[in-house]
Each structure stands twice: as structure tokens, then as C-alpha cells.
Amino acid sequence: MIYKDNDNKMPVVAILMRMLALAGPDKRPLIERELRMMRAGIATEREAAALIDMYLKDSTRSAVVHDLRLVSNDGRAAQIDHLLIHRSRRFYLLDTKHFAHGLRITEDGDFQRWDEAARQFAPIPSPLDELTRQISTLRDALEPLGLDDAPVDTLVLLAPNARIERPRRFDSARVIKADQFMERLNNGRDAAPMQTALGNLNRTRMSDSIGDIAHKLIALHRPSTADTLARFGLRRHAPEL
């Protein structure tokens, strides 16, 4: 069952478009880059959410929360693209990434994206490290519920048409395409151990308390809109909004 959809980020896109029209040559590249990244992220999240919803919208054994942003007591923020909550109290963090021109993972586990303008690969922060930080913040949110020690599995989901260059030594199994994840979910019996557990989402009955957990986490949601606007010197309730 779907408990939360993606936040509507189009108002922020509209604000940035107005800023772009008025911006000087020093600010235009920054705003254009932000718009490209935001639009690509929105498209990728929607595509992944559509695949997840297609399989799990009528689920009686799992809860789905899209676009959940949690902030811990010490100010650490975690933007969780998709959260699955299984009746067994197992959690699945799914992080969607958009790499239009390709992703390379090195033998040392470093991540690089293809920079079309520079015609070369450029280093980027590891999505796997980002998921590790998300787990920490999620556990803080689960502690009052007595679930801070619940098992949490993670995956990085890429667009179905993404090109991935994988290493031989470094284990990149947690980086897959969004449609492959849903295939593995649907065929969990023949998948890897983690995916077998995911397959159980389709063969169990939801506990009534799973919905309560989802609602309590959603109550902690802090949208990232204000952060995006603050980078450009705007406030959430500024007159120009």
C-alpha cells in the first residue's frame, strides 16, 4: 500500500525559472545546473515510483513511503527516495540516481559520472556512502518506536536506460536499474539473498501496525524545498513565492 507519494517540486522549478529569466551572467550557470539536476531527479524518482507502485500499490504485506526527508536531533538530514516497510519489521531504502550519459564504478569502489561537456568521467560522492548515512538517520527516527535495531537493506536504483560500467573486484550488486529491481522483487525466489527477502513482500500478510509505523515516519517528514530556495537566498514564505 502507498502511504506517501512524491512531493510536488514543480513550484520550486517555477521559481527557479523566474530567477533564471532575471539572473545575470554570473548566476545563470548555477541556476541552469540546479534546474537540470532537479528535473532529472524528478523524472527518475517518478519513473522508479511508478514501477514500485505498479507492484505494491495493492499490497497487503508492505507499506511504501516515497520522498521522505528526515532530520535527526543533531541536524543530520536524510533524503530517502523510497522506503519499503515489511510486516516482518524489515526496512528497504531505495535511492534513485539519474546518470543520463553513464556511470562508472572503479575497482576501488569510487563512483564517476560521464560529463558530456568535458567529454570525460568526473568523480561523484558514493551513493552507497549516502545510503549508510540515511540508515543512521532512519534508525534515530525508529528509536522511539523500539525499531532502531530493525534490519535495513539498501539499493541504488538507476534509470532503465542508464549505462553502467562495473568493476570486477568491487561488489556493485546493490547498484541496479529500477526495472531490474522490480523484476527481482517479483521473482524473489530465484534472486540473490537480499532480493529473496524482498520477494517475501509478495507472499506475506501485512500487520496492522505497519501502517502506524509509516504514518509516524511521515509525520517526521521535513520537505527539502526550503533548503533548495535557501541556496539562492530565498525564504520559504518570501513575497516572491
Could you give the CA distance from residue 161 to residue 153 in angstroms, rounded to a whole number? 24
Tell me the pLDDT tens digit for each residue of 150-165: 999 999 988 778 889 9
The pLDDT value recorded for residue 203 is 44
pTM beyond 0.85: the answer is no
- Determine the average pLDDT of the residues in 227-239: 54
CA 229 from centroid of its chain's CA atoms = 20
pLDDT score of 230: 59
SS3 content of the chain, % helix, strand, coil (to 5): 40, 25, 35
At position 6, the amino acid (one-letter code) is N
Over residues 77-104, the pLDDT tens digits come to 899 999 999 888 889 999 988 776 789 9
187 or 238, which is more confident: 187
